Structure 1
Amino acid sequence: MFDFQIKENNTVFDVVIVGSGAGGGMAAHELTKAGAKVCVLEAGQPFDPADPKNITQLKWPYESPRRGAGTTRPFGDFDAAYGGWEIEGEPYTRAAGTKFDWFRSRMVGGRTNHWGRISLRFGPDDFRRKSIDGLGDDWPIGYDDVKPYYDRLDKMVGIFGTVEGLRNEPDGIFLPPPKQRLHELMLQKSNKRLGIPTIPSRLSILTKPINNDRGQCFYCNQCGRSCQAYADFSSSSVLIKPALKTGNLTMITYAMAREVLTDPTTGLATGVSYVSTLDMQEYTVRGKIVILAASAGETARLLLNSKSARFPQGLGNSSGIVGRYINDSTGASRSAIIPALFDRKRYNEDGVGGMHVYTPWWGDNKKLDFARGYHIEYWGGMGMPAYGFGWGIEGINGRFPTREGITKAAGGYGASLKDDYRRFYGAYVGMAGRGEPIPLESNYCEIDPNVVDKFGIPVLRFHYKWSEHEINQAKHMQDTFEQIIHELGGIALGPKPGADRNYGLEDPGKIIHEVGTARMGNDPNKSVLNKHCQAHDVKNLFVADAAPFVSQGDKNATWTIMALSMRTSEYIINEVKKKNL
């Protein structure tokens, strides 16, 4: 039993925001700048990458207290990732036959501290997929509605790239991209022969300074550790930090939101109750407007747990759509060793933390057996070595040519191991497809009636199955990877995944791009929010994460989350001025 004593905060904030990641951070930034008194609830700990106790850039692997024996973080001890797919005391469940992995972040700035910073705009087609292929639904807004906010975002946050003129891969306002590294130059050259476009990446990393508050990238290739110079984008350093400087932001960390509170007479949101993870007591914070930006899954959980006589199915859920249409990017990958890169000359090619080139979708789905496209991300080069880096067990039966022309098993120990490291170092290349699924009402999350977390809050249960479209898309990815590796003159590592493994298609949730649990739409019977991300049922309740997405797009979601949050914040400001809120 949980014996909570609810403690009330007497302050009534203009806005209460749940979550400090891409969407919540942007809303806090825009609203505090406009003069609103804002309170942000964050379930995790404070985090500033420039705080000496948090700095992990430029540290050696042996500086880990575990020395490789394990890690407390999903991407390694030094990455800025507090949280993970599994968190002690915070379970979630899966229906029979479902494979779904739910990543939760527990730190100020959320996932933006350790993401790949791939910052792609959705294109015109991405907002109108049903009109194109008859599947799913169109968004109630189009590219022209979001473009002004993409433009503002590019200038405010900073993004590098090149103008390419691709219709459904809209150009932005770009900083100069970093130079391609050797394996990327090879990919561009060989992919051109295959008719596969390969262009400079679009990442939110400052290759040139844009203001006095943030430094310039110094090319250490460790953006996943979150940048002590603030040269890459993280909500914690680029949005929350300036919002705090306004004096209008109150941050409450270690605050696990339990439910949105409402007035029983008007049905309006009045605040949020949360459990402090420090003392396990329940508190309430009151606000005139509530914005949920806790992630698509956590926002759905909050809405579904916010039940009352007026909202028996959960807050804002008169349509029964909350939790429905959850979807995650598809993902499949392949790697290879490139003999032309054996015995490379050593030089520093660290670059930015991530890819310097990528492949936008180039296919014609009308001629294919799946409805939506994907992009390809590439990696490789002379990164920090580790045992096994640069060769694979499977290879040519695990054997590679030596300088003397004979073949032998790679690895071993002593002089043989050192010799192989020198030979194979920098010859490893990998690629991954990230694609768009078909949103299905049958893929959803709901409250598990029998399970609560350690805070006493009912948890989510997931129902999810890939359709034939996603499986066929993964097959196309693997066929394409084989073509690319062959054209490079490479040796694929490991057997090509077949139908028995869904062609290497990752389980849903593994790509950490889940969207769509509180979708926007014009019809209140078929959607949760209107085109301004305002709840149909509760006019002072808004959502500013990926839950409003009607579809995924073949792009990463973060840039669109922030653009929509900026757009919603502007709408809130204007509605308050008109006294509509």
Structure 2
Amino acid sequence: MNFQIKPSKDSYDVIIVGSGAGGGMATKILSEAGLSVAVVEAGGDWDPAKEEDRTQLRFPWESPRRGASTQIRPFGDFDAAIGGWDMPDEPYTRKNGTQFDWFRSRMLGGRTNHWGRISLRFGPDDFKRKSIDGLGDDWPIGYDEIKPYYDKVDRLIGVFGSREGMRNEPDGNFLPPPKPRLHEMFLMKGAKKINVPIIPSRLSILTRPINKDRGVCFFCRQCNRGCQVYADFSSSTCLVKPAMKSGQVDLFTHCMVRKVTSDDSGLATGVSYVDKRDMKEYKLKGRIVVLGASACESARIMLNSKSKVHPDGMGNSSGMVGRYLHDSTGASRSGIIPELMHRKRYNEDGVGGMHIYTPWWLDNKKLDFARGYHIEFGGGMNMPSYGFGSNMDAVRKHILDEFGQPSPNGGYGEGLKRDIRAMYGSTVSMSGRGESVPQYDNYCEIDPTTVDKFGIPVLRFHYNWTDNEIKQAKHMQDTFEELLINSGAKLLGTKPGVETQYGLLAPGRIIHEVGTTRMGSNPATSVVNSNCQAHDCKNLFVADAGPFVSQADKNPTWTILALSWRTSDFIIKELNSKNL
């Protein structure tokens, strides 16, 4: 679909940059309130129900690469992710030898097209961590203030789960969860032996109908490819496209925003963007600008939005734009359960993700690190993808000798097929996703000497894990090993040690970055207020994960959606009161 390059209106009520979770929710709520909205997206249109975009239920041989990854399809040719950590025309830099891998999504709906749909609410403690452990800062809002918006998001989008009554894992308005699969039952049995809780997952996938526009999950286990019946949540199919039906929304695709423009008083007047198709610069005018481009991209836009009133970038009088960048921690381990070898073949696909997970269950006061993590489980007999069986040498080395000699020709041909069939469905994995402590010295800033293809100055990153995160990763690995062994699994690979920071992935690899435009009551130490409104510019708002004061041991998407809805309601109220 080709969208217009030039604006169809002289001016809009609201310009929204980015169409992911935050931008998509703002688009829906503000357009339904009768406001004229321009959505500016750096990627192209995307609709998994359209034949040209559909990757669901396609076989590997339908791709010239058999589904393998490319630079801009980092999770494979069939995954609904266009973007990546290494974009050919959009570099970024690092300083002082530190590591941060920045993922950008370049498609309508952003990262909500290919995420795991893990839809967890932050709990009461997650907003007040400093009061608990003395580290970081408390949010200026608490759970009670955001709970009504979590409830609204549950009803609008749909999330399955179970009511467990866990104080810091708040229950939602759940649809019925799918039953655990066989490998998950083994893991549940092992977890019970060591008092590790396992409960049904909470994923935004419809197991029951909620409206006439979306279908119900048919359990093909390919949510990462984008659902052609819209049974899983993505911002494009559930928020942006429905909002466009109102006629209140104009969509500008393939448009890289350079900066937020402003007048002599410092108020935002719109945005300036470069159209990727003709490499020309255009401007959109608007009464209000909402940045939902992702935490780092929104910070980049604000830092590049310099003027006489905003000499260090719009909203940056405190010098805090880009500061306190942090990502979830991540580490993993896998094993093979001998009892699941030579399994009978049957369809156990289920939803595109885990049916069970482990919420944080321990008291940090009794541990040597702050904050917690949850555990995500994988395994089962999903459709083999490109590269399936590529780790067979490692599997044979660690496992097959315990069950007799491998096939004579196991390295290739008929023997390899025989071994793969024997192992198929017997491997299990687990990954920890944890909370890191925000640090002032973990940040992104504008590189003074580097620009992208579009002439826009790029970000430069500085980031280091602290002892808290490294000790947390060690605890993950100890737990994974104990849980796998008690589930009857044989461990694969060598347990990561201190030399690899216990398998702790580089920051940015979990794609949960938050905190670059943190909220707070004090304009000297924060960028936006509790309504995600810039302290320095009353008609500039941030609707992505940038305003997060801290990241919980939960995935951020549900909180981005709830905060964006809350911010949108505030914008409507302020407009009605003529304060904007």
- Short-chain TM bin: over 0.9
* Aligned match of 2:192: 192
The CA deviation at 1:96 is 1.8
- 2:75 corresponding residue in structure 1: 75
Alpha-carbon offset, residue 409 of structure 1 = 8.6
Summarize the Cα distance change of 1:8–1:383 in structure 2 as closer, same or farther, 3 Å threshold: closer
Match of 2:60? 61
- For the structure 1 residues 395 and 422, does the alpha-carbon distance in structure 2 shift closer, same or farther, using more than 3 Å as the test? closer
Shift of residue 12, structure 1, vs aligned partner: 1.0
* Residue pair 2:19, 2:292 contacting (<8 A) in 1 also: yes
Worse-matched range after superposition: 57-66 or 424-433: 57-66
Structure 1 partner of 2:383: 384
The residue number in structure 1 matching 2:276 is 277
Is the Cα–Cα contact under 8 Å of residues 44 and 108 in structure 1 kept in the other structure?
Answer: yes
Deviations 1:188-221 (A, max 9, x none): 1210111101000000000011000000001100
Residue 14 (structure 2) aligns with: 15
Closer, same or farther in 2 for the Cα pair 1:409/1:516, shift >3 Å? farther
CA distance in 2, matches of 1:406, 1:91: 49
SS where residue 275 of structure 1 aligns? strand
Query: 1:12-411 to 2 correspondence within 5 Å?
Result: 12-67=11-66, 70-71=69-70, 72-264=72-264, 266-385=265-384, 388-389=388-389, 392-395=392-395, 397-401=397-401, 405-406=404-405, 411=410
How far apart are residue 52 of structure 1 and its match? 1.2
Tell me the amino acid that sits aligned with residue 385 of structure 1. P
Deviation at 1:383, TM superposition (A): 1.6
- Asked if 1 retains the 8 angstrom alpha-carbon contact of 2:190 and 2:488, the reply is no
**Secondary structure at 1:233's aligned position in 2?**
coil
Letter in 2 for 1:212: K
Secondary structure at 2:484 match in 1:
helix
In structure 2, the CA distance between the partners of 1:290 and 1:99, relative to structure 1 (3 Å rule), is same
SS at match of 2:293: coil
The SS at the match of 1:393 is: helix
Report the residue type matching 2:221 in the other structure: N
Structure 2: how far apart are the matches of 1:163 and 1:409? Answer: 52
SS at match of 1:287: strand
The answer to whether structure 1 residue 569 and structure 2 residue 568 are counterparts is yes
Cα contact 1:122–1:170 (8 A) shared by 2: yes
Q: Relative to structure 1, is the Cα distance of residues 275 and 67 closer, same or farther in structure 2, using a 3 angstrom cutoff?
A: same
Distance 1:411 1:148, change over 3 A: farther
Corresponding residue for residue 495 of structure 2: 496
Does the 8 Å contact 1:330/1:506 carry over to 2?
yes
Residues 202 and 7 (structure 1 numbering): CA distance in 2 closer, same or farther, change over 3 Å?
closer
Asked whether the 8 Å contact 1:398–1:410 carries over to 2, the reply is: no
Q: Which amino acid aligns with 2:166?
A: L
The CA deviation at 1:423 is 1.4
- Summarize the Cα distance change of 1:32–1:427 in structure 2 as closer, same or farther, 3 Å threshold: same
1:391 deviates by 5.8
Deviations 1:236-280 (A, max 9, x none): 00000111011100100011000000011x211000000000000
Q: Could you tell me how far apart the structure 2 residues matched to 1:146 and 1:78 are?
A: 36
Q: Structure 2: which amino acid aligns with 1:208?
A: R
Provide the rounded CA distance (Å) in 1 between the counterparts of 2:372 and 2:107: 33
Separation in 1, partners of 2:67, 2:43: 25
Note the C-alpha offset of 1:70: 5.0
Matched position secondary structure for 2:190: helix
Tell me how far 1:397 sits from its aligned partner.
Answer: 3.1
Identity %: 65
SS, match of residue 482 in structure 1: helix
- CA separation of 1:390 and 1:358: change in aligned 2, threshold 3 A: farther
Distance in 2, matches of 1:423 and 1:127, equals 48
RMSD: 1.6
Task: Answer yes or no: is the 8 Å Cα contact 1:328–1:513 preserved in 2.
Answer: yes
Give deviations 1:322-370, integer Å, cap 9, x for gaps: 0000000000000111111111111101100000000000011001111
1:554 aligns with 2:553: yes
Letter in 1 for 2:347: N
- 1:273-305: CA deviation from partner (whole Å, max 9, x where unpaired): 000000000000000000000000000000000
Unaligned runs of 5+ in 2: none
Distance 1:446 1:259, change over 3 A: same
Quickly say closer, same or farther: Cα 1:385–1:169, change in 2 above 3 A: same
Determine helix, strand or coil for the equivalent of 2:233: coil
Residue matched to 1:429: 428
- Determine the structure 2 residue equivalent to 1:532: 531
The residue type equivalent to 2:223 in the other structure is C
- Match for residue 457 of structure 1? 456
Counterparts of 2:220 and 2:69, CA distance in 1: 24
Q: 2: distance between equivalents of 1:410 and 1:171? A: 52
Return 5+ residue gaps in structure 1 as ranges.
Answer: 1-5
Give me the whole-angstrom Cα distance separating, in 2, the residues matched to 1:443 and 1:284. Answer: 33
Amino acid corresponding to residue 444 of structure 2 in structure 1: C
Superposition TM-score, scaled by structure 2 size:
0.97
Equivalent residues of 2:514, 2:547 under 8 A apart: yes
* C-alpha spacing 1:179/1:10, structure 2 compared with 1 (3 Å): closer
Q: Cα distance, 1:185 vs. partner? A: 1.0
Please state how far the C-alpha of 1:91 moved relative to its aligned partner.
0.1
Change (3 A) 1:565 1:383: same
SS at match of 1:11: coil
Counterpart CA distance in 2 for 1:206 and 1:229 is 10
Once residues 450 and 390 of structure 1 are traced to their aligned partners in structure 2, the CA distance between those partners, rounded to angstroms, is: 42
Label 1:101 to 1:68 Cα distance change in 2 as closer, same or farther (>3 A).
Answer: same
Name the CA distance, whole Å, in 1 between partners of 2:530 and 2:67.
48
Amino acid paired to 2:557: T
Q: What is the Cα deviation at residue 10 of structure 1?
A: 5.8
Q: Which amino acid aligns with 1:90?
A: E
Q: Any idea what SS the aligned residue of 1:378 has?
A: strand
Q: 1:79 to 1:328 in 2, by over 3 A?
A: same
Offset of residue 415 of structure 1: 2.5
2:407, 2:415 within 8 Å by CA — same for their partners in 1? no
Q: 1:287–1:410: structure 2 CA closer, same or farther, 3 Å change rule? A: farther
Q: 1:422: how far off?
A: 2.1
> Partner of 1:3 in structure 2?
none
Take 2:553 and 2:538, find their aligned partners in 1: how far apart are those partners? 32
AA partner of residue 580 (structure 1): N
By how many angstroms is 1:395 displaced? 4.3
Q: Distance in 1 between matches of 2:165 and 2:506?
A: 34
Partners of 1:159 and 1:69 in 2: how far apart?
31
1: CA distance, partners of 2:406 / 2:41: 55
- One-letter amino acid matched to 1:339: P
Whole-Å separation in 1 of the counterparts to 2:125 and 2:167: 9
Distance 1:287 1:101 in 2: 33
Give the whole-Å Cα distance in 2 for the aligned partners of 1:363 and 1:402: 35
